[in-house]
Structure 1
């Protein structure tokens, strides 16, 4: 977005605010509730409502927030962690294209009621924060490049929250998700709102096991993924069969530098040459 451009905001179903992106033609959050989505689609699937009870406080919890946006996912993660175990040490790295989005979110009131609102404000304004309790760093720019600054094997929890694959395919490719997977701890979790077959297939090709998270404000589920398969909520037969259709052909970006049109075209060409079942046949079988 252009510096100084004011994003139009919307009030979602739970009373929390979100923005609308003219560039992508989408709201930043599920309109049923931005704050609720952060909790149910990201924080809880990554087990952050349980992890502080299992961890030695000498080992901080590491959160990687991809497409930090308004900050709900990280903010509600901190609230949740400290409700379970106050003052547990946390490290957060947020990837976001522009500082304008979180700064405008703060100005609109996002985070104003959080118990750590003063340190949150300083983090948003400065781009970094460090205290004994928590450390935060915001990396500005294309997440395909800023991700490389995140240490390998670092993250306990990854929030994958770009705009949808059809409009922002560059952050849903096999190559990008493989780089994300390399930055996860062996017992870490990745959560996303998307259940697109292309995304789930890319996560699998990137070396992760996948599970399904409950619907929220819409009829379809989200996805949780991990390097290990233990305790992942299972996919339904319908979801597994979806991964055997042409919808599961993933997006690819071999150089991590290609434009959206190139990434979409490569997928279309791969789908045209695919021997996988037509997605329309799958739909007729399951939605009669």
Structure 2
């Protein structure tokens, strides 16, 4: 299949009508209407969705027939706290440096400040990255759900004022001396390509850098990286293997990488960057994914089923964006084509979930059993308990089941890599290698 040529990258943003209201709001304010923000909030109410913790969220534009909210209905603040901030081990550090990608309304950064800025007052530096100035501006209109969001609003307002987007600064909140917020209005892929993207100025005027072209030191930089775009199906450009490799290079040796998604394609890509991967805390119905260069930071491995689907099925096929310039359409179509090839030639079909039934005492109804057997036999596996089946899933067992006297592997990343390697060997040689 020939992929569509879409040279103009159009990132997914919040609903068009919302952005139109916000844009009109600040045009009026820039012309002297100092009530524009409160009026805009009234206009936005029909588009705002109040979540379980009292914070607001907004829907995205429609993409391929569907849209998503920026935050879970269970609570945008609580989700940020449970899936990003708490698992990051940041309370153990005196100086904290965080990269918040797709900062949106500023909730995750606000929750991070609220959680960390206590009586110990650690030095906190957060780089917020958001491609849409109008999305950031929306955060100025929505009421602050926690006190620290006022600090974030102040940083956003200062940034938008410095760029000429705003002509007035109305927020009186002061940014504490121990907090530094750098806001970058850019495609997050640009910072990865540059690795040393310009830190134009701090958002605290009292701490502005003398050198406005100062760049991030090209050594391991961040204690935590929060990745919070829309889902991989909608914003694949921020989940590609190449993008995640770039983020990995910006992580400290004991740092944490966290994202709310549990998609197999993303977990596979994270593993291929060389990070240890694990299950993120559950919030609402789902858990996310966390990763680190340091194994001890991974408290909970992936489930056995998830490891198998990542390693052995086409679901683990990663998104690829070789130049970090492709459109979401190009990236998605590339992966679709690669998945078709994988299903045909060297991976089990994710639709059938065949890997989870290999050497597993799970009752299967007859119709499903026929589909599973058809799928595994397509790749030369006789049955679910065959020697080949035992060979490829053996890395998950404490005691060797394949007869090769295998040593147990202690983490999900190593098990996924080894299972995939074994499947590849069978596909190459047609049998278990000697």
Question: Within 5 A, what are the aligned runs for 1:126-137?
Answer: 126-127=158-159, 132-137=177-182
Contact 2:314 2:348 in 1 (8 A): yes
Q: Verify: 1:145 aligned to 2:190, yes or no.
A: yes
Q: Verify: 1:226 aligned to 2:314, yes or no.
A: no
Following the alignment from structure 1 to structure 2, what is the Cα–Cα distance between the partners of residues 130 and 34?
A: 23
- Report the TM-score, using the length of structure 1 for normalisation: 0.89
Q: Verify: 1:211 aligned to 2:278, yes or no.
A: yes
**Cα distance change, pair 116–70 in 1 and its aligned pair in 2 (3 A):** closer
Question: Within 5 A, what are the aligned runs for 1:74-85?
Answer: 74-83=109-118, 85=119
Question: Within 5 A, what are the aligned runs for 1:59-138?
Answer: 60-83=95-118, 85-111=119-145, 113-115=146-148, 117=150, 119-127=151-159, 132-138=177-183
**Equivalent position to 1:37, from 68, 79, 97:** 79
**Residue in 1 that maps onto 2:257:** 190
Instruction: Extract unaligned runs of 5+ from structure 2.
Output: 1-12, 23-43, 163-173, 198-215, 365-434
After superposition, the C-alpha distances for 1:99-154 in whole angstroms (9 at most, x for unaligned) are 2213212311135x31572x433201012997631111111121111343144311
**Residue in 1 that maps onto 2:377:** none
Following the alignment from structure 1 to structure 2, what is the Cα–Cα distance between the partners of residues 251 and 116?
A: 34
After superposition, the C-alpha distances for 1:78-119 in whole angstroms (9 at most, x for unaligned) are 111123x432110000110112213212311135x31572x4
Q: CA deviation at 1:246?
A: 0.6
Instruction: Extract unaligned runs of 5+ from structure 1.
Output: none
Number of residue pairs matched by the alignment = 277
Q: CA deviation at 1:65?
A: 0.1
Contact 2:110 2:149 in 1 (8 A): no
Larger Rg: 2
Q: Which structure shows the bigger proportion of residues in strand conformation?
A: 1
**Equivalent position to 1:282, from 335, 349, 353:** 353
After superposition, the C-alpha distances for 1:16-52 in whole angstroms (9 at most, x for unaligned) are 111111245110011111111000111112123x32x
**Cα distance change, pair 154–264 in 1 and its aligned pair in 2 (3 A):** same
Q: Verify: 1:242 aligned to 2:309, yes or no.
A: yes
- Report the TM-score, using the length of structure 2 for normalisation: 0.60
**Cα distance change, pair 5–178 in 1 and its aligned pair in 2 (3 A):** farther
2:307 aligned counterpart, secondary structure: helix
Q: CA deviation at 1:215?
A: 2.1
Q: CA deviation at 1:5?
A: 4.1
Q: What is the RMSD computed on CA atoms of the aligned residues?
A: 2.2
Following the alignment from structure 1 to structure 2, what is the Cα–Cα distance between the partners of residues 78 and 161?
A: 17
1:280 aligned counterpart, secondary structure: coil
Following the alignment from structure 2 to structure 1, what is the Cα–Cα distance between the partners of residues 223 and 281?
A: 21
Following the alignment from structure 1 to structure 2, what is the Cα–Cα distance between the partners of residues 231 and 122?
A: 33
